[in-house]
Amino acid sequence: MFIYIGFDDTDTADAGRGTGKLARWFEAELPEACRLWGVVRQQLLLDDAIPYTSHNSSACVVVDSPDHNPSLIDDLTSRAIGHIERYSLPGSDPGLCVSYEGHPNLSQLISFGRGCATKIVTQKDALQAALGAHLSGHGGTNDGIIGAAAAVGLTVYGWCGRFIEFGKLRDFPGEVPVSNLERAGIAVVSIDRDAPAPDPEDLVNTNGWMRPRLWGGKPGLPVTSRGGNLWETLGGKRKKEKGEKRRD
């Protein structure tokens, strides 16, 4: 069973790390019965009327649990609150949302999350969408509850966001055989016009930055052909402004 833990607004503009790193670090807090399936970054609406830190993104930690155990969910929630209290930065507005596979409120959270990508929403909207699930603010304005709930909803939706953690995602070399990625649970998908199927022995150039997308609830790596047996991943690291620190 998957348990979804959404974090948002745990950082400040001058911090050297963002909510993505805080979410990734939560793996160290997991109880023995659980394992980290992945961490997904979700992009929310960019609008001058929204007070966000840098790129208005939130993160969802997806935990794989052996079964539905209410006490385990309560334990994870308690650990997540402690994690926020330990690592969120003064001046931030942290929020936390926790739900799980099969919970009756997931359809509401999905609708809410998709709305957050296209329009301005409120804390009241978030609280209503998360009825029955855990949603809490942990400082400042508590605006982080909006992004935390959206992170869960969009990740459950399964058709948006990018993985910032999945298995040994960050350990792959600059060129990786397609078969290695497939064995790691990452589907390699051509986005060329005719969408040919990459051969298992073909190579993927990651440009030192490989972030699969969440497609159909699974990791999918979009690639374009560079001729012969070579493919290249889509996207890359965002160029930093002068003085900007890496945050994820």
Per-residue pLDDT of the chain (248 residues; tens, 9 = 90+): 999 999 998 766 666 678 999 999 999 999 998 999 999 999 998 766 666 555 688 999 999 998 778 889 999 999 999 999 999 888 889 999 999 999 999 999 999 999 999 999 999 999 999 999 999 999 889 999 999 999 999 999 999 999 999 999 999 999 999 999 999 999 999 999 998 999 999 999 998 889 999 999 999 999 999 999 999 998 776 665 444 444 45
Correct CATH for 2-163 of 3.40.50.1170, 3.40.50.720, 1.10.3720.10, 3.30.70.2200: 3.30.70.2200
Which of 33, 235, 42, 52 minimizes the C-alpha distance to 151?
A: 42
pLDDT at 242: 42
Q: How do the domains of the chain map onto residue ranges?
A: 2-163, 172-233
- Spatial CB neighbours of 37, under 8 Å, sequence gap ≥ 6: 2, 62, 63, 64, 166
pLDDT at 76: 96
CA 49 remoteness from chain centre: 23
pLDDT at 54: 58
Positive or negative: CA dihedral 148, 154, 156, 160: negative
pLDDT at 111: 97
pLDDT at 239: 61
Q: Give the Cα separation of 13 and 180 in Å (integer).
A: 38
